[in-house]
Chain A
Amino acid sequence: MATILVLVEHEEGNLKKVSAEMLAKARELGEPAAVFVGEGLDSARDGLARHGAATIYAATGEGWSNQLPGPLTDALDAAASRAEPAAVLVAATPAGKDAGARLAARKGWGMLADVSDIDSATGSGDGGGLVATQNVFGGATIVRARVTTGVPVLAVKPNSFPAQEAPAEPQVVDLGQREATGAEIRVIDHVVEERGGRPDVAEAETIVSGGRGLQDPANFALVEALADQLGAAVGASRAAVDAGWYPHQHQVGQTGKTVSPQLYVAVGISGAIQHRAGMQTSKTIVAINKDADAPIFAIADFGLVGDLFKVVPRLTDEIAKRKGG
């Protein structure tokens, strides 16, 4: 069975959700082999085994860091030489794409970014291989594409595939020492500005986003309280980010992130084209806005025309009561 390499996204061994999602898809397509770089393999090993990794290519020890593209790319390169995979899956995150693009450039392999589905192609003329689905132009067009040169490098969007447990007993293959090449980058510092706790916007299943309708940055507290009741990430419109109300990392839209969660709740967001382009493939959209003509209502499955300052606190309360019993 063909091997599908999966570059594991993790933070010191704590697996990101997208890693399990990629392994689940890899299991459908062939035999999943996880590529683990950096520290924390002992913590990660269980999770990788539970999600079906048949092999773990381990790049740990001196010089192997998952914080830098050089080591990630070198580990993928080394694992690919050993595994001769049918495809390499990376997450469609900045780190995953950085490493994937470098691997593709180094080997002359084709790469497809922001893949939301992968099928084994069957039938006519094309000679088989994998067909990847991409949502482009803010979701307006669905493209299916193939890699025609080399091993396909596919950057997979978080939330595209359900994670599934399929316990395996992975064989661990040590990739040995890293030989640093030129052009080394050094990590000088790692600064955390926000308390953790909430999911990342890029991979959350639920997102509650705030916009200009909040009127004041302090009112993001309403969005955060609702997000916490729903176990959601907090998103922000471009207007809110440009006004300095919330960090750019949380911006959803054409010059922010493109997300496709199960549930997207837009609070005080008018729904301009550039915002819709970043969220309109969400499975369910809820909009709360006092302007009945706001374009967001045209794409909302549930639209609530009303004063968010009255509605959102009540919503948060009622959800809390329902959960609390």
Chain B
Amino acid sequence: MKILVTVKRVPDTAAEKRLDPADYTLDRESVETIMNPVDEYAVEEALRLKESSGEGEVVVLCMGPESALPAIRKALSLGPDAAVHVHDDALHGSDALATAKVLAAAIRHVGPDLVLSGSESTDARGSLVPSAVAELLGWPGLIGAKQLEVEGATVRIHRETEAGYDVLEAQGPAIVSVVKGINEPRYPSFRGIMAAKSRPVTDLTIADLGIDPGEVGSAGATTAVVDATSRPPRQSGQVVKDPGDGAAATELVEFLAAHKFI
């Protein structure tokens, strides 16, 4: 079984995220970056599937600038066999739809039986791409999995819901997006980190994927930012210290009542 896992390089959690005023794209270069946190769960799930079946191949797919390579190597250090890195100047400024087009084309190019992705990335937090990819490929898209089983050609997930989960099933090939907590991701071993340096990374351009520059990037954008402003940071209001017996609760009750919350 060939499993493809999509990973994205995103600004570090604590990094201040900034939009470039020239074109309102996210500045990914002057900040610390990491592999998108939820993607680690997707990589782990792919590795577990390969390990439990005793055979197969796990390939990482990343669409991102050349500077995304460290995130790819990070993913490889966990155990996947190879990676595909799609990068092209024409991709700068791509929106979710363009990203989905590129990933769908890359998926067709690689030809996996199953695609795993994280449910959302911490930069835009759109949660749109896995669904859009499934639609473009005409594959089932099983979104929000907190458990995954593959039995022959059948893919079964527990889809996280507000009060529990739904059991959904479809025939592969399929896209599955996973949520945090589906497993406990392994840490990279020293051997894994060293091995990652020599795992093959195939570079692809949009021409390799048969995509026209006009369909992606800023040129192909289906949305446009009108303006972006920084929200002034919140100020702290009143702070009350409790004498030790909980009596300050009364002041909080007054506050809540004054603001009509009770």
Contacts and interface: CB of A to CB of B under 8 A. Distances in A.
A136 B124 contact: yes
A29 interface: no
A306 interface: yes
Interface string B176-193: 000111000000000000
B37 interface: yes
A141 B231 contact: yes
A188 interface: yes
Contact of A314 (B16, B126, B247, B261): B247
Contact of B168 (A108, A112, A187, A256): A187
B112 to A, nearest CB: 16
B125 A101 contact: no
A304 B161 contact: no
Nearest to B227: A144
Interface string B225-259: 11111110110111111101111111111011101
A201 B136 CA distance: 32
B132 A105 contact: yes
A112 B225 CA distance: 10
A305 B231 contact: no
A191 B97 contact: no
A144 to B, nearest CB: 4
A297 B237 CA distance: 8
Contacts of A280: 234
A168 to B, nearest CB: 29
Interface string B146-169: 100000000010101111111111
Interface stretch (A19-27, A79-87, A178-186): A178-186
Nearest to B95: A110
A239 interface: no
Contacts of B253: 315, 318-319, 322
A200 interface: yes
B80 interface: no
Interface stretch (A34-42, A45-53, A145-153): A145-153
B170 A183 contact: yes
Interface string B110-141: 00000000000010111111011111101111
Contacts of A191: 158, 164-167
Nearest to A200: B162
B143 interface: yes
Given A108-B97, A191-B167, A146 B224 contact: yes
| Centre residue among A99, A100, A274, A304 by max chain B CB count within 10 A | A304
Contact of A322 (B132, B134, B257): B257
Contacts of B17: 136-137, 140-141
A254 interface: yes
B53 to A, nearest CB: 22
A299 interface: yes
B242 A306 contact: yes
Given A113-B126, A255-B37, A248 B180 contact: yes
B26 to A, nearest CB: 9
B208 to A, nearest CB: 22
A310 B227 CA distance: 47
Contacts of A190: 164, 166-167
Contacts of B231: 135, 139-142, 281
Contacts of A313: 246
Interface in A213-269: 230, 241, 248-249, 251, 254-256, 258, 262-263
A183 B236 contact: no
B165 A193 contact: yes
Nearest to B180: A255
A161 interface: no
B222 A305 contact: no
Contacts of B165: 191, 193
Interface string A121-164: 10000100001000111011111111111100000000000000
B19 interface: yes
Contacts of A194: 163-164
Interface of A: 67-69, 73, 94, 97-102, 104-106, 108-114, 121, 126, 131, 135-137, 139-150, 181-194, 196, 200-202, 206, 230, 241, 248-249, 251, 254-256, 258, 262-263, 273-274, 280-281, 284-286, 288, 292, 297-307, 310-315, 318-319, 322-323
Given A148-B224, A315-B252, 13 more contacts: A105-B133, A113-B125, A114-B125, A140-B230, A141-B230, A144-B225, A181-B138, A188-B169, A249-B160, A254-B122, A311-B248, A314-B249, A318-B249
17 contacts: A102-B132, A102-B134, A105-B133, A113-B126, A114-B126, A131-B226, A183-B139, A230-B262, A248-B181, A274-B13, A297-B239, A300-B237, A303-B240, A304-B242, A310-B244, A312-B249, A322-B253
